[in-house]
Structure 1
Amino acid sequence: MTEISNHLSDLARFIQASPSSYHAVTEVAARLIEAGFVELNEADEWPTGPDKRFVVRDGAVIAWIEPATATATTPFRIVGSHTDSPGFKLKPKPTTGNVGWIQAGVEVYGGPLLNSWLDRELEFAGRLVFRDGTSALVRTGPYLRFPQLAVHLDRGVNANGLVLDPQRHMNPVIGVGNAAGADVVAHLASLAGRTGDEVTGYDVMVADTAAPATFGMDAQFFASGRLDNLSSVHSSLVALLRLGTELDHYPVFAAFDHEELGSETRSGASGPFLADVLARISAGNGASEAQRLQAYASSWCLSADVGHSIHPNYPERHDPVNHPIVGGGPLLKINANQRYATDALGAAEWVRACEQAGVPFQEFVSNNTVPCGSTIGPLTATRLGIRTIDVGMPVLSMHSAREMCAATDTAVFTAAIQAFLEPVN
């Protein structure tokens, strides 16, 4: 239990350090450097030979270990996850006012459960780019709130349900007074020791400020914002850092941005980032295109993203036979329409990894009337032709401002990912 507790505490620290994808990548980079990884720049010529390396592209990061035995056809074992979470993003000209309140203009990012963001102390966090070409990460701490309308002014809300218009109702309050005298961007700039007129661009998100917590009988559960998908980023990173040096393949950690938007960006899984990095690694060993494709043919990718636990209050929304539950082990995600990339060979490889790690696993499949979402898995398989498996940790309240899982599941998921990255022959 001490190992599980330590793992959970480290996940909590990781999430608290990562209110935006840019903060998450900075935290990943710091941990990689501490473990002896060398950061590379995409604009530079890359070194060759055995080492531990990583490269950052905006809100995405890829790290790998090159073994001493690497050749032109050495295969890859990749674990992919994503750094972004559903929520809200700061709009241009964001400082607004209405009937004596000072508010901020935000745009819905991805598919959040809007009601879950009400009545929480929230912060702005992200990156600012300045006129001189430099940039900085900032976070405000508790700064804004989406206030819910009182029941006295909406008597039918409990009977008829809450209906939220994203434009009319999701305008957070940040103060009272004259909005003309306020400036959200200037406040963000001041946190970096700069002035508002120096800011020429920004990517700033809204994040929940509440600390992660355990709860329930015997503290069985863990609740936090951004479990989707920082939990998989953390598990994949911890697994990578635990690996030994005697390897016959490249273990690769890939954390992409913009999965919640469909991944079609330069730092998303549909973009060229992973393909570019793998091609440069292979080229460093003198691989021809044909030899690189040989390596791909023997490679594997694990798409790690949270999945749905069966919900005790809505069991009819789930498959009537397959009932995965928090605490029961990680999920093998299966979909006949290939919204998940798992096939029979992939299922067998996941069984092997879980057996090697000594952990149970569960199968997830959707109810036929409730189509599932998708992941980076099919995108990676399509772009690279590498056999891909979709897996994840079971959660409740997915896409809520605060999601929950079993306290034991994060350590168990990490163990399975480590066994995937370092198979015992």
Structure 2
Amino acid sequence: MLSTDEYIEDLARFIAASPSSYHAAAEVGRRLDAAGFTRLDEEHEWTAPTQTTALPTTAYVVRDGAVIAWHQPKVAGPTTPFRILGAHTDSPGFKLKPKPSTGSHGWLQVGVEIYGGPLLTSWLDRELELAGRLVTRDGTEHLVRTGPFLRIPQLAIHLDRDANTGLTLDRQRHTSPVYGVGEPGDGDIVGHLAALAGVLADDVAGYDILTVDTAPGTRFGLDRALFASGRMDNLSSVYAGLVALVATAGADADDAAHVSVLAAFDHEELGSASRSGASGPFLDDILTRLAAASGATEAQRLQSYARSWCLSADAGHSVHPNYPEKHDPANRPVAGRGPLLKINANQRYATDAHGAALWARTCAAAGIGYQEFVSNNTVPCGSTIGPLTATRLGIRTVDVGVPLLSMHSARELAHIDDLAALGAAAGAFFRG
């Protein structure tokens, strides 16, 4: 079991290695490979236990920027339930447009489209990189990242004396990063990315490239108890589930009463409606194939779903000391006092009374406290993959997560104890 210091140090390494959802899925896969998991290909047949070679008990599948991994105990049968920790690999930011090499007035710029709901002003005056995937004409995928490369410059206060009383950014005109000087024809962003990936620019047929803040995750403050980093929404949950699953598979868990599953989806920040998102078929595809490999009938698979649980782990909101009126008067989670149980009367979070009881048992088993979060009635509530999973599969789902300040900022803030506690809770959830 990792100490809090070790947990935070490794979390920072995981986030640094995961600048895009595609990198995050690859990093999860790399760590699973090191832990002895087997990568399976969806295009191939998965061998059933009745055949000569059984399906691996610890395995994973990558679909674009999403990954699903599992530990299946050897005693698992057709009605063995699943314990699923759901999270997402993507974060808000900016995505490279087609014909991205632009510029004006002697500056080289890139054309970007806003991805999700970033806190726009937080992206100004930061050294950013481009990261994601290139796909060549033969269909081969190449991960690529530039390191510090571009910046969205803010207008000097001398030229906008009202900037401190109300800064409004035009989403088209004011968000184009600069990366050099020259005329537009002098720059070739795709060519630069292709060179970094070791392929010819003319061979690049498509790309999914996003901007990423390059500042590393950093501890600071009293007793260095605060942690600031980009993409904690929601790599903090992906990491917690990954560490817990690896630990579960490495323990003597062959007689466990359930199959432990990490489902890290892509495109949550866009609403999850994609082949690799929580509204898509990915999780149901994998669970159906696992059930089939165990010899389950359709009725038995639905029996296992009825006994299963999903822990939807996504970041939540700590009370903000400068804006306390934005929070519910009675429910104000404080950083450092435990992860959140997220509740919403309109099912924007999937937690119900049974889910609250499961979370209470899980946290007690992990030896941690937790806090309840509910929105102020005047502030619209966000949502997560939780209601989507519950709706698609009928599996009981509970929404939880780490309390943050500055959610959807280029750089978010959490307490180290809350981050480590989420990892402990994920471990207890998989242990049952």
Scaled by the length of structure 2, the TM-score of the pair is: 0.97
Q: Distance in 2 between matches of 1:376 and 1:38?
A: 26
Which of the numbers 142, 148, 163 marks the counterpart of 2:148? 142
Equivalence for 1:7: 7
Aligned sequence identity (%): 66
Equivalence for 2:220: 215
Equivalence for 1:81: 87
Runs of 5+ consecutive residues of structure 2 not aligned to the other structure: 49-53
41-50 vs 286-295, greater mean Cα deviation: 41-50
Q: Distance in 1 between matches of 2:72 and 2:119?
A: 41
Q: Distance in 2 between matches of 1:303 and 1:61?
A: 15
Equivalence for 2:122: 116
Equivalence for 1:366: 375
Paired amino acid for 1:239: A
Which of the numbers 167, 184, 187 marks the counterpart of 1:182? 187
Paired amino acid for 2:287: L
Equivalent residues, number: 422
User: CA 1:350 to 1:2, structure 2 compared with 1: closer, same or farther past 3 Å?
Assistant: closer
Which of the numbers 253, 259, 265 marks the counterpart of 1:256? 265
Equivalence for 2:312: 303
Paired amino acid for 1:3: S
Are the aligned partners of 2:15 and 2:231 in contact in 1 as well (CA < 8 Å)?
yes
Scaled by the length of structure 1, the TM-score of the pair is: 0.98
SS at match of 2:3: helix
Runs of 5+ consecutive residues of structure 1 not aligned to the other structure: none
Paired amino acid for 2:25: V
Q: Distance in 1 between matches of 2:180 and 2:172?
A: 19
Task: Using the TM superposition, give the Cα deviation of residue 171 of structure 1 relative to its aligned residue in structure 2, in angstroms.
Answer: 0.5
Q: Distance in 2 between matches of 1:166 and 1:214?
A: 32
Which of the numbers 270, 282, 296 marks the counterpart of 1:273? 282
Q: Distance in 1 between matches of 2:258 and 2:76?
A: 7
SS at match of 2:139: coil
Q: For 1:7-406, list aligned pairs within 5 A.
A: 7-48=7-48, 49=54, 51-158=57-164, 160-243=165-248, 244=251, 245=253, 246-406=255-415
Paired amino acid for 1:236: G
Q: Distance in 2 between matches of 1:365 and 1:147?
A: 37
Question: 1:166-223: CA deviations, max 9, x gaps?
Answer: 1010000011012202100000000011121110000001000001101111111000
Are the aligned partners of 2:69 and 2:262 in contact in 1 as well (CA < 8 Å)?
yes
Are the aligned partners of 2:104 and 2:183 in contact in 1 as well (CA < 8 Å)?
no
Paired amino acid for 1:223: A
SS at match of 1:93: strand
Question: 1:44-102: CA deviations, max 9, x gaps?
Answer: 01134461010010000000011111111000000000000000000000000101111
Task: Using the TM superposition, give the Cα deviation of residue 345 of structure 1 relative to its aligned residue in structure 2, in angstroms.
Answer: 0.3
Paired amino acid for 1:98: S
Q: Distance in 1 between matches of 2:403 and 2:228?
A: 13
Q: Distance in 2 between matches of 1:146 and 1:360?
A: 41
Question: 1:282-323: CA deviations, max 9, x gaps?
Answer: 001111110000000000000000000000000000000011
Q: Distance in 1 between matches of 2:363 and 2:69?
A: 23
Paired amino acid for 2:147: G
